[in-house]
Chains A and B, each alone.
Chain A
Amino acid sequence: MKSFIPPEFQVYRDEDRCDQCRGCERQCSFGVHSYDQDRDSIISDESKCAGCQRCVIFCPMDALTIRPSPSSYRPNSSWTREKMDDLKKQAETGGVILTGCGSDKPFRIYWDHMVLNASQVTNPSIDPLREPMELRTFLGPKPDFLKISGEGKDVAIETEIGPNVVVEAPILFSAMSYGAISYQAFKSLAMAACDFGTFFNTGEGGLPKELRSDYGRCAVVQVASGRYGIDAEYLNCAAAVEIKVGQGAKPGIGGHLPAEKVSSLVAETRMIPEGTDAISPAPHHDIYSIEDLSMLIYALKEATNYEKPISVKIAAVHNFAAIASGIVRAGADIIAIDGLRGGTGAAPKTIRDNVGIPIELAISSVDRRLRDEGIRNSCSLLAAGGIRCSGDVIKAIALGADGVYIGTAALIAMGCTLCQKCYTGRCNWGICTQDPRLAGRINPHIASRRLTNLLRAWSAEIKEMLGGMGINAIESLRGNRDHLRGVGLYEWELDVLGIKGAGE
């Protein structure tokens, strides 16, 4: 069937610069560029271009420019180009529109409507370069009070504290499974987490055996509805275990790793036959209610000898604060909340762009709910979904999160350009692919350094901002909404965020 969809991108080639080295042809997995022997020149099929910029960056002659092609349709605020092209695609295929990455729709980004405080006169700002400035964060349950025995030198703490894990900055890598991303990208995240002193998250694709001894201590291992790759060693080699209930990009639906991405090592890691579809059901079929979640939480605590915190990850949806409260009461030690803008390797576009609520509002309301119920100490709160910079991190903490998960930001550090073609498995940057030729484009030693650089830079920036507020330990900012003010927000939004407007 003839496609009626115009190309999304235009390829400009400066013929004076191009020396026909055919590098672009080798770089592009989508087959945009090819050498035409007859004309002795490189030609480009723009209809295949994802706009990932790989060929542009790697062209030795800087001869290429890729830009979005201007819409040639009559302008229409309702029937936008994207709506029309998606509609045509469905007319041509009869399929659900798939996409990758977090939602790109213009929902209000509350981070950009909140501003931070700084000290002037009445207390000193603190210079983070010379004075101690502490980002160390413990994730896990804390008791409401400690029982003490003895006195003086013999004083001892009687209260047993539930399992906690420690990170040197409140920034963890989000769940990204081996299978969804390449082995090299997965290993890069693991190496960076261990180097820096934080955690990566295996997602639901298991943890390759050979990585367990070196990187298990920095892993949060996921137990998701498909239960892939789970064995006792997997659970016990890790720092923490996370039950994945939902994902911000696709709340309420499951996942599907197509058979063509299930290579032999993926199959071995997930413990399934090679070349079969790996399906993650929408719900956990042993969790149809909150008491069932409790049963799974305690099963995992048993399986890990009560030595590891159990996290539960949910998508931020309308009544999730009450759900979160139930999850804490069900025994979770950490709650991870993934907001509307959270990323994905593959999701139906209509789900990604229409379901869930922004993470900023979610952090605020869940923190308030747990405090109102007097159970905030019982768990830690991780926020995910649309954390783009250190400013977002620090605002998340001030709203009430203990830490954040970053996924998209980590992928961008490794080269991702948010072309949203993750679901094709043909990622030119070697991230979201199982093609050995493409995956080999990531060198874990270099990519992990890009990631640790990112964490180091963000940490330095967070310390600068904390110091400016006169705070030298991150725990003194947690839930400290006095240090935030809203700009350009409606009163109901300020209410939900629990902050004053600027100047108030």
Chain B
Amino acid sequence: MTGPRNPSDIDHPSSADQKLPSHLSARTAGQGIPDEGSLERSDPGDEAASPTAETSNQVCGGAVVDATGLKTKELSDRLRDLMLAGTGRMIVKNACGQRYIGTRLYRPGQASLQIEIFGTPGNDLGAFLSGHRILVHGNVQDGVGNTMDRGEIVVEGRAGDVLGMSMRGGRIFVRDGVGYRTALHMKEYLDQKPVVVIGGTAQDFLGEYMAGGIVLVLDLGNRGHQSNFIGTGMHGGAIFLRGSVNLTQLGKEVEISAPGEEDHALLENLIHEFLIRFPELAARQEELQKSQFVKLTPVSKRPYGKMYAY
């Protein structure tokens, strides 16, 4: 391949080869058959190993739904049925492009659900999410946590564009890199303060229009931040970057400073929370705690106050 690319987005080339938790491995035998040079679909596995939702049963306290061949709405129907039946923990296997997973799981007074996903969920994962916890063993696509209100999304891989757009609360942890326009117009309200922690790096327009909340980018690959237009239009919240950033990469509405004492406590806590979720990275703890960070904050809450003639 000769095309230029952003190396920071391939922080973990092996992400696809995630080892499944042992209690699930038997049920996902169909996945992971090597597919060398062939485009013929790999054998999805024998029937016994791939239960359909109708035959899904509780495994270690979780209900398994095999998403193979399911359309978006069919998958959401099953997850909602499980919620209404009182299931607290759901495991989605073989997700492949189904959108809005978690979105239809809102019910007033509903306790927080655990949703574990294997495969590649589709766009708008956890859109409007209201308090549940989603764990993805693999990569995710565009629009994760769109307008999310409460809850948590953990991605053991990389994420596509516009992650956390207009998010007002809750937390998103991504082990690897993220695409364009992460945390676009993320905002905070009263005690709701959204948090996004990225293990890799972000592509352009990180924190565009950002109005509140915290974004932390750890650059675990030590590749340096390549993103441009960081915080363009930013008028609230804070972005922390491990390492340094060139001033030309920042939007004109952003100012750069060294984190203060309070910030260090916050960073320490967020790094801790991040590493808990990705124990394979625990060895990096000391290095991360000792690292230099820069803090990006808006110059003004009204960046365009002088824009207009009255």
Q: 1/0 contact trace for B275-310 toward A, CB 8 Å?
A: 000000000000000000000000000011001010
A130, B307: Cβ atoms closer than 8 Å: no
Contact residues in A for B213 (Cβ distance below 8 Å): none
Mask, A441-478, CB within 8 Å of B = 1, is: 00000000000000001001000000000000000000
Q: Which residues of B contact A132 (CB under 8 A)?
A: 229
How long is the Cα–Cα vector from A83 to B42 in the complex, in angstroms? 90
List, in ascending order, chain A residues with CB within 8 A of B303's CB: 129
- B307 nearest CB neighbor, chain A only: A460
Interface flag for A373 (CB, 8 Å): no
Count residues on chain A whose CB falls below 8 Å from chain B CBs: 7
Residues of chain B within 8 A of A160, CB atoms compared: none
In the bound assembly, the distance between CA atoms of A127 and B208 in angstroms comes to: 11
Residue on B with the closest CB to A460? Answer: B307
Q: Given A130, A457, A460, which contacts B232 in the complex, CB threshold below 8 Å?
A: A130
CB of B155 to closest CB in A, whole Å: 26
Asked whether any CB of chain A lies closer than 8 Å to the CB of B274, the reply is no
Q: Which residues of B contact A154 (CB under 8 A)?
A: none
Compute how far the CA of A457 lies from the CA of B208 in the bound complex, rounded to whole angstroms: 24
In the assembled complex, the CB of A458 is this many whole angstroms from the nearest CB of chain B, namely 12
Which of chain B's residues have a CB closer than 8 A to the CB of A127?
209, 233
Task: List residues of chain A with CB within 8 A of the CB of B251.
Answer: 130
Residues of B contacting A457 in the complex (Cβ-Cβ under 8 angstroms): 309
A128 to chain B, nearest CB (A): 10
Closest to B251 in A: A130
**In angstroms, how far is the closest chain A Cβ from the Cβ of B144?**
19
Counting CB contacts under 8 A, is A131 at the interface? yes
Please, which residue of chain B has its CB at the minimum distance from the CB of A152? B2
Complex: A132 Cα to B233 Cα, angstroms: 11
Which residue on A lies nearest to B184, using beta carbons?
A: A130
Nearest CB on A from B111, distance (A): 38
**How would you classify the secondary structure of chain B's contact residues: helix, strand, loop or mixed?**
loop
Question: Which of A127, A131, A132, A457 counts the most B-chain CB atoms under 10 A from its CB?
Answer: A131
- Chain B residues closer than 8 Å to A131, beta-carbon distance: 205, 229, 232
User: Which chain A residues lie closer than 8 Å to B309 at the CB level?
Assistant: 457
- Per the 8 Å Cβ criterion, residues 208-226 of A in contact with B are none
Contacts of A130 in B (CB 8 A): 208-209, 229, 232-233, 251
Query: Residues 94-138 of chain A: 1 if any B CB is under 8 Å from the residue's CB, otherwise 0?
Result: 000000000000000000000000000000000101111000000
In the complex, what distance in Å separates the CA atom of A131 from the CA atom of B204?
11
In whole angstroms, how far apart are the Cα atoms of A127 and B232 in the complex? 11
Contact, CB under 8 Å: A129 / B229: no
CB-CB nearest in chain B for A457: B309
A460 / chain B contacts, CB cutoff of 8 Å: 307
- How close is B13's CB to chain A, nearest CB, in angstroms? 25
A457–B306 alpha-carbon span in the complex (Å): 11
Query: Which chain A positions have C-beta within 8 A of B209?
Result: 127, 130
Residues on A with beta carbons closer than 8 Å to the beta carbon of B307: 129, 460
Contacts of B205 in A (CB 8 A): 131
Proximity string of chain B (212-233) to chain A, C-beta cutoff 8 Å, 1 when within and 0 when not: 0000000000000000010011
For B304, the chain A residues whose CB sits under 8 A away are 129
A228 shortest CB reach to chain B, Å: 39
Nearest-CB distance from A418 to chain B (Å)? 21
Q: Mark B178-215, 1 if CB is under 8 A from A, else 0.
A: 00000000000000000000000000010011000000
> What is the chain B residue whose CB lies nearest that of A464?
B307
| Cα of A129 to Cα of B300 in the assembled complex, Å | 14
B2 to chain A, nearest CB (A): 9
CA distance A365 to B208 in the complex (A): 42
Q: Say how far B62's CB is from chain A's closest CB, in angstroms.
A: 40
Identity of the chain A residue whose Cβ is nearest the Cβ of B209 in the assembled complex: A130
User: What sequence of 0s and 1s flags, for each residue 242-256 of chain B, a beta carbon within 8 Å of any chain A beta carbon?
Assistant: 000000000100000
Distance from A392 Cβ to chain B, minimum over Cβ atoms (Å): 18
Contacting residues, chain A, for B229 (C-beta < 8 A): 130-132
Question: What is the CB-to-nearest-CB distance from A107 to chain B, in angstroms, rounded to a whole number?
Answer: 29
Cα-based distance from A476 to B208 in the complex (angstroms): 24
Complex Cα gap A129–B303 (Å): 9
Q: For residue A127, which residue of chain B has the nearest CB?
A: B233
Nearest A residue to B233, CB-CB: A130
B167 vs chain A, min Cβ distance (A): 18
Q: Which residue of A lies closest to B234 (CB)?
A: A130
Assembled-state Cα–Cα distance A226/B307 (Å):
44
Complex: A457 Cα to B307 Cα, angstroms: 8
* Bound-complex Cα distance A129 to B233 (A): 7
For B231, give the chain A residue with the smallest CB separation: A130
A450 nearest CB across to chain B (Å): 13
- The residues of A that contact B208 with a CB separation of less than 8 Å are 130
Q: B304 — nearest CB in chain A belongs to which residue?
A: A129
In the docked arrangement, what's the CA distance between A129 and B209, Å?
Answer: 10
Q: How far is the CB of B16 from chain A (nearest CB, A)?
A: 31
Minimum Cβ distance to chain A for residue B210 (Å): 10
A129–B305 alpha-carbon span in the complex (Å)? 12
Nearest chain A CB to B234 CB, angstrom units:
9
Tell me, in angstroms, the Cα distance from A396 to B229 when the chains sit together: 31
Complex: how many Å from CA A457 to CA B209?
22
A134 CB, min distance to chain B CBs, angstroms: 13
Please report the C-alpha to C-alpha distance between residue A127 and residue B309 in the assembled complex, in whole angstroms.
19
CB<8 Å pairs between A and B, sample of 18: A127-B209, A127-B233, A129-B233, A129-B303, A129-B304, A129-B307, A130-B208, A130-B209, A130-B229, A130-B232, A130-B233, A130-B251, A131-B205, A131-B229, A131-B232, A132-B229, A457-B309, A460-B307
Query: Could you tell me which A residues sit within 8 Å of B by CB distance?
Result: 127, 129-132, 457, 460
Further 15 A-B residue pairs, CB within 8 A, beyond A129-B233, A131-B229, A457-B309: A127-B209, A127-B233, A129-B303, A129-B304, A129-B307, A130-B208, A130-B209, A130-B229, A130-B232, A130-B233, A130-B251, A131-B205, A131-B232, A132-B229, A460-B307
Closest 8 CB pairs of A and B: A130-B233, A130-B232, A130-B208, A129-B233, A129-B304, A130-B209, A457-B309, A460-B307
